[in-house]
Amino acid sequence: MSITDDTPQDWTDLGLRRTPTQQRSRQKVAQAIAAAEDLVVREGVDVITLPRVAAEAGVSVGALYQYLPDREAILAAIVSRYHDRLERLLDDAIERLRTDPRSEDPVGSVLRAVAAVYQDEQSARSLGTVAISADADAARRRHKRAMADRVHTLLREAGVLDGVDDERGAAVARVAFASADAVLHDAFAAPEAERAVLLTELERALRASLGA
């Protein structure tokens, strides 16, 4: 998912030192984040430095420094963009359910959509256990809570939690998200044939546990 001028909220959610307001600055930052993602996939996290990313992106260090001053900021921006994409996906699914309750399969369609994001986001997934900074760790925790809250809302809107009180419903949603997240990370680290089996079994297990 690229960062574009028509999605300004993406910029404010990236945790940059400063938010770029001009098109030229946004383009340079977008190029730098894309270059950093490619470097992480090709060569690993250890090669990420501001000079290396700037050179890879074809922009000057000075042009990036005010937005992405160091390795921690660059890696945090990659992860923040990934988190934002997943949260928006669930927001969209919730909105579709509210508009037309019959339009959404809360387990199958949402799981497949989330899996597609995991497949796209190889660089961000590889940073899942990397120690970036205390702020980045706090952002990860906020993301997990935000995702569990969205799953709770989604299951409520779909009627999966009918008759279940909010406290237990929140716990059910948290377990469902944490379980799916763990299996998805494992699946996309596995060979493709194994991945398909794991994803099929994940959907079966979620449907059985949620009664959906």
pLDDT confidence of residue 12 = 62
pLDDT for the residue numbered 6: 40
Higher pLDDT, 14 or 144: 144
Distances in Å between the Cα of 152 and the Cα atoms of 64, 93, 125, 205 are 39, 12, 23, 17
Q: How many Å is the maximal CA-CA distance in the chain?
A: 58
Using pLDDT thresholds of 50, 70 and 90, give the confidence band for residue 189: confident
d(CA 117, CA 179): 17
* Burial (0-12, 13-18, 19+ Cβ within 10 Å), 2: exposed
Q: 20 or 108: whose pLDDT is higher?
A: 108
